[in-house]
Amino acid sequence: LSPTAPARDLAGVRVVVSAGPTREYLDPVRFISNPSSGKMGFAVAEEARDRGADVTLVTGPVNLPDPPGMRVVRIESALELREAVVEAARTAGVVVMTAAVADYRAAAQSGEKQAKVAGDVTVHLTPNPDILAQLGQEKGERVLVGFAMETHAGVERAALKAQRKNADFILLNYPTREGTAFGGDDNQVTLVRPDGSHEDWPRVSKREVARRLLDEAARRLPGRVA
Ligand code: CTP
Ligand code: CA
């Protein structure tokens, strides 16, 4: 083995990664979304591929080409994301939800472009399903990983999310950390477990965050020793 060859510790493991934003159309030309770049999720998918995993990457609209050596599913809405992730997750050992899923969609999507009216308008939104929580309800032996961006009380909120969604752990970050999170090439995250225990990781490349994340996930696979 050459010293630079990555460990093939995920050979035979199916890994599903969601990435990027979702778009929730109000009419054919307008949507609600967020600035997720997809870089974190793509880094996880590429790292898993290089460690031998059989990878499905389900991504919202991002400015990144399909990475070679994996199945890539392009979606737009949260409902489409759910369908693709739930289907791929059936046979998966690890599911990593980095997607920034829009919490709401239009209660009624107009088939025609809506002309402006004089004065204020009210848009009726309805909640999107929680995909990670749905996977957590039938968790089995799958390892489930979430991401959360919080502006305050991050560890407490992330631990509650991990509990509520039955995730193994959540990687928490803050939108204010410079050069990280939305669009950046680095990330500085805190690993938070459902019991509230947590570890601050240093600011490193998203690829290095992916490496550490998959180290954690691999340890939790059935039949592995920590
Ligand atoms: N998530 C999901 N489906 C949703 C919303 C979120 O699967 N409809 C996943 C995200 O991909 C992420 C994790 O849940 O891995 C946490 O997302 P976050 O938006 O922080 O959680 P919410 O439960 O939506 O809480 P909040 O009210 O803070 O937005
Ligand atoms: Ca949310």
- Per-residue pLDDT of 92-129, as tens digits, reads 999 999 999 999 999 998 899 999 999 999 999 999 99
What's the topology of domain 14-102+124-219?
A: Rossmann fold (3.40.50)
Q: Is 99 in the pocket of ligand 1 (CB under 6 A)?
A: yes
pLDDT value at position 186? 93
**Atom number, ligand 1, closest to the C-alpha of residue 134:** 7
> What is the sign of the dihedral through the CA atoms of 155, 159, 165 and 171?
positive
Are the C-beta atoms of residues 164 and 133 closer than 8 Å to each other? Answer: yes
Instruction: Say how many Å lie between the CA of residue 56 and the centre of ligand 1.
Output: 20
Q: How far apart are CA 19 and CA 44, in angstroms?
A: 9
pLDDT value at position 226? 61
Ligand nearest to the CA of 149: 1
Mean pLDDT computed over every residue of the chain = 94
Active site residue 34: yes
pLDDT value at position 3? 62
Q: How far apart are CA 47 and CA 192, in angstroms?
A: 21
- Surrounding ion ligand 2 within 5 Å at CB are 103
At 20-75, the pLDDT tens digits run 999 999 999 999 999 999 999 999 999 999 999 999 999 999 999 999 999 999 99
Angle at 107 between CA 104 and CA 111, to 5 degrees: 115
Domain residues of the chain, as ranges?
A: 14-102+124-219
ipTM: 0.99
Ligand nearest to the CA of 128: 1
Which residue's C-alpha comes closest to atom 26 of ligand 1?
Answer: 103
Angle at 182 between CA 211 and CA 8, to 5 degrees: 15
